[in-house]
Amino acid sequence: MPQKNIYEEIKIPEGVDVEITKEKIKISKEGNEIERKFDYEIKKQDGKLIIEFKKPDKNDKKMIKTMIAHLNNMLKGINEKYIYKLQICTVHFPMNIKIEGNEVIIKNFLGEVKDRKARIIEGVDIKIDGEIITVESCDKEKAGQTAANIESATKIKKRDRRIFQDGIYIIEKQKGRKRK
């Protein structure tokens, strides 16, 4: 049975600039910019992004849905930033958190002398307000990875997590679209 061509299009919101080179797509608006590399061809035509596959196989069909999700995340993020909130929980020892360059420095975690560090990915803004850390970015992946870096920097090993509940935990994150 011959396979059908797959043709998908995504509408570009007003005020958003899309620049497509051979291997990259760059989406920008009001100084914010997101860039991503795709292995498959994307075309821009009449205010829409077009993805077309002729005679796709099973893997191509999967890639189309993945590309659509990434492009939708990019278009959504350029209009409204993705926000992750983390809470600092101290039960045994008070922690001191500060930002130095592209790292979050965590001092006195569980009374440790050595500081713990979490990397901040470029293009991510972090604010510390009391016991709440806010991570913001136009790029969903960068915001999520930075929040995960901070959370995993305070991971406790070789202790009972029910007793030693100290750490930094993600308490709120951007909600994606619901599956059907």
Residue ending a domain, among 79, 111, 128, is: 79
User: Within 13 Å and on the Cβ side, how many CA atoms surround 72?
Assistant: 11
Same-domain check for residues 100 and 142? yes
Q: Is residue 131 part of a domain?
A: yes
Residue ending a domain, among 34, 62, 79, is: 79
* Structure token pair of residue 52: 């077309």
The number of beta carbons lying within 10 Å of the beta carbon of residue 29 is 18
Please list the residues that pair with 18 across neighbouring strands.
Answer: 27
Same-domain check for residues 97 and 164? yes
Task: Give the whole-number percent of the chain exceeding pLDDT 90.
Answer: 46
Q: Give residues with Cβ within 8 angstroms of 75, minimum separation 6.
A: 10, 12, 13, 16, 27
Q: Is residue 20 part of a domain?
A: yes
Contact call for residues 153 and 145 (beta carbons, < 8 A): no
Per-residue pLDDT tens for 20-72?
A: 987 789 999 988 889 999 888 888 888 888 888 887 788 888 888 888 999 99
Regarding predicted confidence, which is higher, 5 or 121?
A: 121
Query: Which of 2, 24, 27, 33 has its CA nearest to residue 12?
Result: 27
Q: What is the mean pLDDT of residues 87-108?
A: 91
Whole domain around residue 125: which residue ranges? 82-172
* Identity of the residue numbered 109: F
- What pLDDT score does 158 carry? 84
Residue ending a domain, among 79, 114, 138, is: 79
H or E element in which residue 127 lies:
strand 125-129
Same-domain check for residues 42 and 104? no
Residue 89, helix vs strand vs coil: strand
Residue 144, helix vs strand vs coil: helix
Same-domain check for residues 100 and 159? yes
Per-residue pLDDT tens for 118-149?
A: 999 999 999 999 999 999 999 999 999 999 99
* Structure token pair of residue 51: 């993805």
Contact call for residues 34 and 74 (beta carbons, < 8 A): yes
Q: What is the mean pLDDT of residues 82-104?
A: 92
The number of beta carbons lying within 10 Å of the beta carbon of residue 37 is 8
